[in-house]
Amino acid sequence: MLVASKWDELERWMEGQRLPKGFELLREPDWVEQYVRKMMTKALPEAAGAMIGKGMATFSESRHFLQVKIILPEGFEREMLRLMVREDRLRLEGLPGGKTETIKLPKLVKPRICKTLLKNGILQVKLRKRPALKTYHEAVIRE
């Protein structure tokens, strides 16, 4: 959770920066995060896993869907588990010890389109990816 808040701080800071031409890509926090994650994976694979729910989640994707497999800790109670879905994160509540885990998703999703399956201590979550908007919308310019 500490890592996620640091990324949010970095994102807010980057929005206010004036960058030289050619450095606009650094304004995209997803690009920065992916770059850092890739570097950490090469240098410290176990540290990179900590950036996405302490290594408890793995991702796979197809053209339209993102699939997340979450390895649940020993001693979880199915009745206590709650999965909260946001367009960029999953939050798993009701873990042993009253703990909560937040998992950053690699792609944006439609939170209301979600299927889950709990089997052998692994929670499988299938999410519909949010399509990239490639059309322009004209904004009215007012005086």
Considering the entire predicted model, what is its pTM?
0.57
Domains of the chain, CATH where assigned: 1-50 (no CATH), 52-130 (2.60.40.790)
* Distance (Å, whole) CA 27 – CA 12: 10
30-45 pLDDT tens trace = 566 667 666 666 665 4
What single string gives the DSSP state of each residue in 80-106? G-EEEE-SSEEEEEEEGGGEEEEEE-S
49-98 pLDDT tens trace = 444 445 679 999 999 999 999 999 888 999 999 999 999 999 999 999 98
